[in-house]
């Protein structure tokens, strides 16, 4: 299976790294933006660098949506996995338009409520995992499978 791993740097990148046991068994490519922690990827992984996009940066999200369409058409993954944050939104939207299965793993810091990204893609994503069982009370489509890190 070919997967596309989408995450912002920092804690979201650390969460994706903690899932290595899963993704290392598959052909994969990464989507993130350049920062000291993500630069290590270019040594051994296929990386698509995109525009830095944080929450509520709508114009950057539109720009990354265009990049997402191009990357997904070229890469042709069977699955998009994102640990957030803002980069998840354009890639999940583009993935849904192209018929690609999507998975979003919410941040461990979200104990009772979803992040803005999680809320925006809640009804679009194929699977949404949370790291606190309390989140499933307000969001019944979310699945609690334990802590990722």
Q: Which domains does the chain have, with CATH numbers?
A: 2-144 (3.40.50.2000)
Task: From 109, 132, 118, 50, select the one nearest 82 (Cα to Cα).
Answer: 118
pTM of this prediction exceeds 0.85: yes
Per-residue pLDDT of the chain (149 residues; tens, 9 = 90+): 999 999 999 999 999 999 999 999 999 999 999 999 999 999 999 999 999 987 788 899 999 999 999 999 999 999 999 998 999 999 999 999 999 999 999 987 777 889 999 999 999 999 999 988 998 999 999 999 877 75
In this prediction, residue 55 carries a pLDDT of: 73
DSSP code of residue 22: H
Looking at the DSSP bridge assignments, the partners of residue 31 are: 6, 48
Task: From 35, 30, 40, 21, select the one nearest 2 (Cα to Cα).
Answer: 30
In this prediction, residue 149 carries a pLDDT of: 54
Q: Report the 10 Å Cβ neighbour count for 1.
A: 11
Classify 16 as helix, strand or coil: helix
């Amino acid at each position: 299976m070919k997967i596309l791993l989408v995450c912002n740097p920092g804690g979201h990148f650390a969460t994706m790294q903690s899932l290595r046991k899963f993704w290392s068994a598959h052909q994969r490519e990464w989507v993130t933006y350049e920062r000291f922690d993500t630069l290590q990827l270019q040594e051994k992984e296929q990386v698509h660098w995109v525009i830095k996009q944080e929450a509520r940066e709508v114009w950057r999200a539109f720009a990354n949506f265009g990049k997402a369409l191009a990357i997904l058409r070229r890469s042709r993954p069977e699955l998009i996995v994102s640990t957030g944050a803002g980069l998840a939104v354009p890639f999940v939207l583009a993935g849904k338009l192209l018929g690609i299965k999507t998975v979003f793993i919410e941040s461990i810091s979200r104990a009772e409520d979803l992040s803005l990204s999680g809320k925006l893609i809640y009804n679009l994503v194929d699977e949404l995992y949370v790291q606190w069982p309390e989140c499933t009370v307000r969001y019944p489509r979310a699945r609690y499978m334990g802590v990722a890190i």
